[in-house]
Amino acid sequence: MIIHLSHNDLDGITSILLSRQFNIRHYFPCSYDKSTKTYFLNIMNYFISKYGSKITHIIITDINLSKEMLTYLDNSMNSINPSYKCLYIDHHSNTIKDLIETKTNYTCVINKDYSATKLYADMLSSINDERIFKYKDLINAVDGWDMWDFSRSPFSLDLQRAFYYHVFSRNTYEKFHERLYSFIKLLEKDPPTNDYKPNWYNKLLDLYHIAYQYTIDKAMEHVYNVDNIYCLEFFNEMKYIPAFEITLRLQQMNPNIKYFIYAFESNNDHIKISLRTNNSNNSTLNLSSIAEVYGGSGHEDAASFVILKSDFRLTLEKIIKELVSTNV
């Protein structure tokens, strides 16, 4: 039995879609910030308790494992099936790559130049290209979106917009992971290509623009600039605005921008801080190393962490000061 754990974003769920074409039916979308590291372990416990030694292989895509997560996974699996195999695919700057590569039962593919979907697709194509051939354009679109290189596909951005509306904006009683699953099935049944856009895709895209065009314009009025670092707090009426649209507009306004800091209300007590670079600025600073200090994670160009609301202002000042010191 094969278990596939992947990230709960567009890159992660498209990786799951590819697994489905090879009859891998046990999967779950996870995240990798501080709170969901525990969640990742809970999901592993669920599969282990349900299937035990029947689990022979684990696939992990687009989840930046910490040393603690890897150790827990390995110890748990060794206790029920010491001969298990693990395929680990990621594009994050991974601090445990050397540790993973010492494990003979692990196959490790880490390449920061491509999305997990693209890396996984290339591997699967060498096994049976026919099974995923109809998703070639979709794979490139996801790759273009996740790597923030829109020259890789003519519909990377619009695909993310359709995904965003489906997962975050529809009036539905579905749980978050159920909405992710339903989007996977839309992609699977009727995938968009460079020359063809299905009805569901066009409908979601139209609804997205209706829902967000005005609020994105208004949000731009609340952006503030600190030494070429753009900041925006997604609180109150702005909490549902897609941050990537703000990033796009700011990049167009100022191609020399180096860093963006976004703050989101996570719940009544916590705030999520998201950091990202302008990928064309040739920054040598690894943002995930900053996020890890606060229990978060990510990759070189984008990372996030969650803190208490009471610590927000002081933490924000410290982060800005650190980024300004490198912004030369």
Residue 1 pLDDT class (50, 70, 90 cuts): very high
Residues of the chain with CATH 3.10.310.30: 223-326
Residue-averaged pLDDT of the chain: 89
Per CATH, the number for 223-326 is 3.10.310.30
206-219: per-residue pLDDT in tens?
Answer: 999 999 999 899 89
> pLDDT at position 100, please?
84
Select 2-146's CATH number: 3.30.70, 1.20.140, 3.40.50, 1.10.150.
Answer: 3.40.50
Q: Are 148 and 10 in contact (CB under 8 A)?
A: no
Beta bridge partner(s), residue 230: 225, 260
pLDDT band at 21 (very low <50, low <70, confident <90, very high): very high
What is the C-alpha to C-alpha distance for residues 30 and 12, in angstroms, rounded to an integer?
9
Looking at residue 289, its amino acid is: S
Model confidence pLDDT, tens digit, residues 268-298: 888 999 998 886 555 567 888 888 888 887 7
Encode pLDDT of 296-313 as tens digits. 877 778 888 889 999 999
pLDDT at 112: 86
Q: pLDDT at residue 94 above 70?
A: no
Go through 102-111 and write b for each residue having 16 or more CB atoms within 10 A of its CB, e for each that does not: eeeebebbbe
Residue 2 has pLDDT above 90, yes or no: yes
Q: Where in the chain is the domain with CATH 3.40.50?
A: 2-146
pLDDT, residue 288, reads 82
229 CB-near residues (< 8 Å, 6+ apart):
257, 258, 259, 260, 261, 320, 323, 324, 327
Nearest to 163 by CA among 278, 14, 1: 14
pLDDT at 81: 94
Average pLDDT over residues 171-195: 93
